[in-house]
Amino acid sequence: MEKPVIILSCDVDERDRMRMRQEYFEAVIEAGGVPVVMPPLMLRSQIDEWLDRIDADALMLTGGCDIDPQTFRETPVRGLGRVSLQRDVYELGLLEACMLRSMPVLGICRGLQVINVALGGSLYQDMLSQMGTEFARHQQKEPTEVATHEVAFIAGSMAENLFQTQFLPTNSHHHQCVHRVADDLTVSGTTVDGVVEALEWPEREIFAVQFHPERMRDGNPTMCGFFKNWIERVVAVASTKKSGIAKND
C-alpha cells in the first residue's frame, strides 16, 4: 500500500494566522505517513469534499489554544485561556466527518480534549482554579523534551500496545483536562494525581493522549515507536477498507 495520508488540524492565533509546530509533520513523515494540513476555514460540506478528494486515511488533532466552554455547555471560569470558537467548530466538524468515514483518529493534548467534548464529555477549564494549585505541575517549566511525570497505562489497552510499555515518563503542557469522560471513551492512562492522560475507543480506532509525544522523539525510541505503531494501525485499517471495496466491485 502507498504511504497513508494523515490529515492534521492546525491552530488559529489571535491575529487570524494559521500555525502549527513542525514536530507534528516530522513525526508523521518519520513514521511513514504523508501529512496534509486542512485549513480551519472550511464549511462542513467543504470538509467532506476535501476528504473525498484527497482520499485521506486518518486524522491527527493537534495541540493549541483552550476549548471554548460553550462547546460543552458551560460558562467561562477564572483562569480560562485564549479560545478560538472558529477552531472548535472546524475541528468538531472535521472529527465528525472522519468518524463517519470510520477513519482512525489520534488526538494530542488539545486533541484529546476535543475528542472528549465531541463525544459528550466535559473539561476542567482551568486546573489551578478548579482543582487546586498542586496541579500547576502539569504546566512544566522545564524544556518540552524533558519528562516531568509518569503516565500509567491500563494493561492490555491500546495505549500500552502503541507505546509498548505500561509506565511512561512524559512531558506536560496543559492547564485544562478531562472532567466528565464521554460515555464511548475509556480512560487508559492517568498520572498519580488522577489526571486523565490517555483516552481510547478501540472499536473505532480512536486514541488520544494529553501529553506531547511528538516533542520527545529525539533519542527516545519509545516515542518514535509510538508514531510508527500508530501509522501501522492506520495502514491496516486502510488496507481492510480498500480490500472490501475491491471485493464489492
Residues designated catalytic: 109, 212, 214
- Residues 105, 98: contact at Cβ < 8 Å? yes
- Residues 120, 95: contact at Cβ < 8 Å? no
Burial 58-80 (b: 16+ CB within 10 A, else e): bbbbbbbbbbbbebbeeeeeeeb
Rounded Cα distance between 187 and 189, Å, is 6
Beta-strand ranges (E) seen in 20-122 are: 34-37, 58-61, 105-108
Rounded Cα distance between 145 and 3, Å, is 28
Q: How many CA atoms lie within 13 A of 144 on its CB side?
A: 12
Instruction: Kindly state the cell numbers that stand for 134.
Output: 498542586
Please tell me whether residue 243 adopts helix, strand or coil conformation: helix
Rounded Cα distance between 152 and 58, Å, is 26
